[in-house]
């Protein structure tokens, strides 16, 4: 399977600050049960999700991203003009073009940054981290802002109970700089893809393969379509393999890990990864009950919550692991 790991001979990078933002509006499982044939009991027992956030009509993905970015920059003590790279991971961009990262650049006034988006679905934030790592560790860039941001409510079919109960809106961000001395920093990164499974999780319409017409809009081809069981099966295998890889590269054993921050899609998937890693439940960071699956934003929001609540502390060894449409998967081991 195609995959890219890190080059251990390059400079180390560190996460200098994190931030996140979720919209105010809460949509509960009971709210959803009024729209489609579902129940709080079904959603909680199959996924662990209890509620999710929904952005207002006035909020685009770049607005969520900008709010998260400001908090990460404040924590890192980095001004907008110091940034030389902004990467936004998203599958719900403001527009096909320009890139959502360019809207964020405008909002922040980050006039010295080069900006682009990454499309790797739920793995996007960790793809962005790997990319930023390449630029910073080779000294091509010095201060990077990576963001996972989604307004998935704009691409969900609200009449499809198979998918509408799963997703939510939000954004998370991190400022990445070179690690100056000490041993903290990103120890290893890994990413993989499998293009043979493009159709098990896809928005089939709206792109060049199937431009939007009144007829295919009526068929909801511009909304998320998912073969849940298949995705589940691949997710467990790929995420377990990704954890094994970054832990081996960073020379970490299960007992060294203080916290695993997995993609927040489904509690049962998280449990299956926990069993494989052989870590206790309290070492798996979970917040999906509040936000559902926010795709590229999920790990970024979870990382920020873990950071700000003290669930992860300086000196901890943590593993981040994700899986998404593409298929794509990715992981990172970090000495916090």
Residue 325 binds to ligand ACO (criterion: CB under 6 A):
yes
Residue 269 binds to ligand ACO (criterion: CB under 6 A):
yes
Q: How far is the CB of 284 from ligand ACO (least distance, A)?
A: 15
What Cα–Cα distance (Å) separates residue 98 from each residue in 54, 104, 302? 24, 11, 28
Closest residue to ligand ACO, judged by C-beta, is 228
Is 320 in contact with 250 (CB distance < 8 Å)?
A: no
Catalytic status, residue 142: no
Catalytic status, residue 293: yes
Cα–Cα distance for residue pair 282/104, rounded to 1 Å:
35
User: From the CA atom positions of the chain, what is the Rg in Å?
Assistant: 19
Q: Which stretch binds ligand ACO (CB under 6 A): 107-115, 175-183, 248-256, 265-273?
A: 265-273
Residue 147 binds to ligand ACO (criterion: CB under 6 A):
no
Nearer to ligand ACO, 71 or 240 (CB): 240
The β-bridge relationship of strands 114-118 and 85-89 is: parallel
Whose tokens are 């998320």? That residue is 224
Residue 222 binds to ligand ACO (criterion: CB under 6 A):
no
Residue 229 binds to ligand ACO (criterion: CB under 6 A):
yes
Residue 126 binds to ligand ACO (criterion: CB under 6 A):
no
Handedness of CA 12, 176, 151, 216 (dihedral sign): negative
The β-bridge relationship of strands 259-262 and 317-324 is: parallel
Nearer to ligand ACO, 89 or 132 (CB): 89
Query: With DSSP H G I counted as helix, E B as strand and the rest as coil, what are the percentages for the chain, rounded to 5?
Result: 40, 25, 35
**Taking Cα atoms as reference points, which of 48, 27, 23 lies closest to residue 36?**
27
Catalytic status, residue 115: no
Q: Which stretch binds ligand ACO (CB under 6 A): 17-25, 80-88, 160-168, 238-246?
A: 160-168
Is 3 in contact with 156 (CB distance < 8 Å)?
A: no
List 104, 108, 265, 297, residue binding ligand ACO (CB under 6 A): 265
Residue 324 binds to ligand ACO (criterion: CB under 6 A):
yes
Residue 203 binds to ligand ACO (criterion: CB under 6 A):
no
Active-site annotation, residues: 122, 263, 293
> Which residues of this protein are in contact with ligand ACO, per CB under 6 A?
38, 42-43, 46-47, 121-122, 161-162, 165, 201, 228-229, 231-232, 235, 265-266, 269, 293, 295, 324-325
């Amino acid at each position: 399977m195609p995959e890219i790991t890190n080059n251990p001979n390059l400079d180390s990078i560190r996460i200098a600050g994190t931030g996140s933002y979720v919209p105010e509006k809460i949509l509960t499982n009971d709210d959803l049960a009024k729209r489609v044939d579902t129940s709080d009991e079904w959603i909680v027992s199959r996924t662990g999700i209890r509620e999710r956030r929904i952005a207002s009509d006035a909020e685009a993905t770049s607005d969520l991203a900008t709010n998260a970015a400001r908090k990460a920059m404040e924590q890192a003590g980095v001004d907008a003009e110091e940034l030389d790279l902004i990467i936004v991971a998203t599958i719900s961009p403001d527009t096909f073009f320009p890139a959502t990262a360019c809207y964020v650049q405008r909002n922040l006034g980050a006039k010295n940054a080069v900006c682009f988006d990454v499309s790797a679905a739920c793995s996007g934030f960790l793809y962005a981290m790997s990319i930023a790592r390449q630029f910073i560790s080779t000294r091509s860039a010095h201060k990077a802002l990576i963001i996972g941001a989604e307004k998935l409510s704009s691409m969900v079919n609200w009449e499809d109970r198979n998918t509408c109960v799963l997703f939510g809106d939000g954004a998370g961000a991190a400022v990445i700089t070179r690690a100056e001395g000490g041993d903290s920093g990103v120890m290893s990164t890994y990413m993989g893809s499998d293009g043979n499974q493009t159709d098990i999780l896809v928005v089939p319409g709206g792109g060049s393969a199937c431009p939007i017409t009144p007829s295919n809009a009526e068929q909801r081809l511009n909304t998320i379509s998912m073969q849940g069981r298949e995705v589940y099966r691949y997710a467990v295998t790929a995420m377990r393999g990704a954890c094994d890889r970054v832990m081996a590269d960073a020379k970490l054993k299960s007992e060294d890990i203080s916290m695993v921050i997995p993609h927040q899609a489904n509690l049962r998937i998280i449990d299956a990864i926990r069993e494989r890693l052989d870590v206790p439940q309290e070492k798996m960071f979970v917040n999906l009950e509040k936000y559902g699956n926010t795709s590229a934003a999920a790990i970024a929001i979870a990382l920020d919550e873990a950071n700000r609540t003290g669930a992860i502390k300086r000196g901890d060894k943590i593993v981040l692991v994700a899986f998404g449409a593409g298929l794509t998967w990715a992981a990172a081991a970090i000495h916090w």
